[in-house]
Amino acid sequence: MSRLIPFILAALVTCALVAQAEPVFAQSAEKNPAITPQPRVVEWWFSRQAQKIAEMSKGEIDLLMVGDSITNNFDSIGAPVWKKYFEPRKAINLGFGGDRTNHVLWRLDHLPKLKKAPRGAVVLIGTNNICWGSDKPRQAAGGVQAIARKLGELYPEMKILVLGVFPRRRKLDHPHRKQIIELNSYLPGLLKDLKNVKFLDIGPKFLDDKGFLSKEMMPDTTHPSEKAHEIWAKAIEPELDRMLAD
């Protein structure tokens, strides 16, 4: 299968270039960019997508872990936690560094559909739409909703756990933290009518009683440490067991 990756990569890039070439006037100025599938035309991103397509052809997958760099880091700093909590549950890491909701939607559109449906999916996305991004929190929340809906369309019986966006920056009054709190406030209402979708905000588990985010939890104020990865995994383990139960 590894021999096919260059061909998969070439096909994905072609799809991306066609998508990028669509006339801008075809899109309404009012359309939410967070729900408009869009690729990132950079080599490593397409290479990772090709690798994930290859992984999906190798065997049974029960759990999709969908997100950005925070999920992607289960391949690096969070690897011991992944091995302990997620590898036994037949998970695939679909986290891509820097992704926004629109990029995840494009990736989902360009993954093969598994013959045997996964039992569960965990979604953590949206921080890059806001904070450093140009989307409003309400738009980003709509993007999260669109991803949950898309996953449900792909696998109607799959259970989906949508996590609240994790806190960023040290102090509660930082503008980024305020944007995240606003984004998360919209999600319960947006997700409540979607079949098999549950919302869970575990962000407070990373904070002290005053809302401070320590270096021990997130050294760069954004990405969890190995300890924080463990806290994350333990916090959702009951939900993983529920989703993956026979």
- Cα–Cα–Cα angle for 103, 83, 6, nearest 5°? 45
Question: For the domain that residue 202 is a member of, what is the CATH number?
Answer: 3.40.50.1110
Q: Which domain holds residue 178?
A: 2-244
Helices (H) and strands (E) in the chain, counts: 8, 5
**pTM for this model (two decimals):** 0.89
What would the pLDDT profile of 33-61 be if each residue is shown by its tens digit?
999 999 999 999 999 999 999 999 888 99
Split into its structural domains, the chain has a count of 1
What would the pLDDT profile of 88-110 be if each residue is shown by its tens digit?
999 999 999 999 999 999 999 99
Mean pLDDT across the chain, nearest whole number? 91
What would the pLDDT profile of 232-244 be if each residue is shown by its tens digit?
999 999 999 999 9
Residue 166 contacts by C-beta under 8 Å, 6 or more apart in sequence? 70, 124, 127, 180, 202, 203, 206, 218, 224
